[in-house]
Amino acid sequence: MARGCEVVSGFLIKHACDYPATARCLACGKRVCAGHSRPLDGVRDAADLPFKAEPGEEAAVCVECVKARAAQAQPVDARATGDPRDWYRDRYYDDPYFWGMYHHPHYHPYSVYDDYSASDRAAFERDGDMAGGYEGDFAGT
Amino acid sequence: MTSRGLSGPANSAPVVYYALGGGLGHVTRSIAILRQMAKRGLPGGIALTNSPHHALYAREGLVAASIGPEAGQPADALAQWVAGRLAHWLPQLLVVDAFPRGLLGELPPVLARFAGRTALVLRRLREGYAREYRLREFVAAHYDVVLAAEVLPGAPWVSRTGAARDVGPVLVRDAEELRTREDARRRLGAAADRILVVGVESGPGEHAGALHSVLSRVWERLGRLFDLRLAGAGGAVSHYPLIELLPGVDVVVGAGGYNLFHECQAVGVPAVFVPQRRRYDEQFARVAGATVASSPEHLERILASHVAAGPRLRPAPRYTNGAASAAGALLELLGASDASIC
C-alpha cells in the first residue's frame, strides 16, 4: 500500500499524518499508518464494521474511531456483557494515545493532543520538500 | 600505483580533507578517517571546515582550517579559499566528503588544477541532486577513488580507477575505545535499574529543539518512569563523541542522520528514529526498516514498551570500523604502505 496515512491530526494546525499507510480502518475506511491503527479486537462489535480491507491491506481500526467508540460507550448492556466503559478502559488505560482520556478525565476525551504543540507535531511531518536549491546553502547537509 | 613519496616542504600536509557542510556528519567522518590515517602512520592530515564545531578537531589532536559564511560565499570566493589552502599545504591527496562538486559547487576548477590524488567519501545523496548536476559523470572524470561509507542506492558510482569501494560506516571510535556500560551510565547519571533514554537533537532547520520538547512531554505523560537525557543542540549532554557512551544507553531517540544511525547500528543500541528533511541527505530512506516513530503518540507507545520490558544487558559492541578501511584505501592510493611511512 503506497498511499499515506489519512488520519488528520494537529491541535493548532490540522494536517494529514501522511506516513505510509499499512492498514485500512474498517470503521471509517481511512488508510492508516502503524502509529494510528489498532487491531480489530480493540473495538467491540468489530464484526459489524462497515468497511472491508482490500487485498494487500491489513484490517484494523484507526485510533480516532477507537476513541470515539470508547467515549460513546454507555453502560446500557452492562448486565449482559459487562460495562463497555470498563472494556475500553482495560485495553487502553496504558495506551499513550488514550492517556488524556483516562489519566486527565477533566479534559474532554478528544483533547489528548493538548499535551503536544503544533511544533512538536511538526517534527514528525514528512511532507514538504527541500529538494532543489542545491549548491546555494552554506550550511547545507 | 606509483608512490609520490611523502616528503615535502615544511608547511606541507600529506592529506587535506574537505569536510564542508552543515551538521556534524562531515566533521565526524573527517575526524574518524584522519585519526585512523594517523594510527596507521600518516599523521598531519588537515581538515577544511565551515562548521561552528571546528574546535572538535583540536580536541581530537587534529588541525583544521575554518572558514565562515561571510568569507566563504559566493562560490568563487570559496573556490579561492580552497585553492589557497591546497597551494599552501601542497597535499598529495585531497579527500572530499559527500559533495563531489563542493558545498557551493566550487570544486570543479579546483579539481581541474589539482595535481595530486583525489578521493571521494560518499554517503547517501538525493538522487535529484545527483541527476541535476550529473554527479556520477563528474565523479568518474575527477576522482581517483570513491569510498562508499554506506549503502548507496541507484546507479553505481565509479571513479577513474573503477567501481566505488564499500568501506562500510565510518565511525569516529573503534569498538574497543567505547566506555563500558557501567562507566557510561555513571557519566550520564543514570540509575542502574531504570531505562535510560537519550534524545539526540541534530541539524539546523525549523524543527530544531522540537525533538527535545516532544521527548520531555512523553517523559511526563509516561509518569517519568525512565531516565531521560537530552544530547545535541541545547541538551545537557555535551559529550563528544556520543558513540563512546552508547553502550550505557537503553534507547536512543533521534533523527536519521549518518552518525547517529550508524553508531546505533554498530553498538547495537535500540533506537527510535524521527527522520528529518534535509537538502542533500536522505534520512527517510536511511532509516527505512528501522524503528521509526510517526507521531508523538507512536513514540509514546514505543517507549512505553521499552519501559515495560526493563533494562536489557547487551554484549559488548564488536564492529568493523569503516574509517579504518577508508584509511587503508587512502594510504593505498597514496602508494604508501604502513611499513614505509612508520
**Which residues between 52 and 111 in chain A have a beta carbon less than 8 angstroms from any beta carbon of chain B?**
63, 94-97, 99
Confirm whether the ipTM is greater than 0.90.
no
From chain B, pick out residues whose CB is under 8 angstroms from the CB of A34.
Answer: 294, 298
**Residue environment code for B6-32, b if the CB has 16+ CB neighbours within 10 A, otherwise e:** beeeeeebbbbbbbbbbbbbbbbbbbb
Q: Which domains does chain B have, with CATH numbers?
A: 15-170+321-341 (3.40.50.2000), 175-309 (3.40.50.2000)
Contact A19 B294 (CB under 8 A): yes
Cα(B47)–Cα(B45) distance, integer angstroms:
7
Cα B281 from Cα B123, distance rounded (Å): 8
State the pTM of this model. Answer: 0.75
Tell me what pLDDT residue B28 has. 97
**How far is the alpha carbon of A15 from chain B, nearest alpha carbon, in Å?**
12
**Checking DSSP bridges between strand A58-62 and strand B15-18, what pairing results, if any?**
unpaired
Give the pLDDT confidence score for residue A112 in this predicted structure. 40
Using a CB-CB distance cutoff of 8 angstroms, which residues of chain A are in contact with residue B298? 34-36
In tens, the pLDDT along B294-313 reads 999 899 999 999 999 999 99
A-chain residues within 8 Å CB-CB of B133? Answer: 134-135
pLDDT in tens, A52-72: 777 778 889 888 788 877 877
Interchain CB contacts (distance < 8 Å): A and B: 127
Using an 8 Å CB-CB cutoff, list chain A residues near B53. Answer: none
Task: Provide the 8-state DSSP code for A97.
Answer: G
CB contact under 8 A, B296 and A116: yes
Strands A31-32, A23-25: pairing is antiparallel
Question: Domain locations in chain A?
Answer: 8-122
Query: What residue of A is the nearest CA neighbor of B102?
Result: A135
The backbone region for B235, taken as left when phi is positive above 0, alpha when psi lies in -120 to 50, beta otherwise, is beta
Q: What is the pLDDT of residues B94-149, one digit of tens each?
A: 999 999 999 999 999 999 999 999 999 999 999 999 999 999 999 999 999 999 99
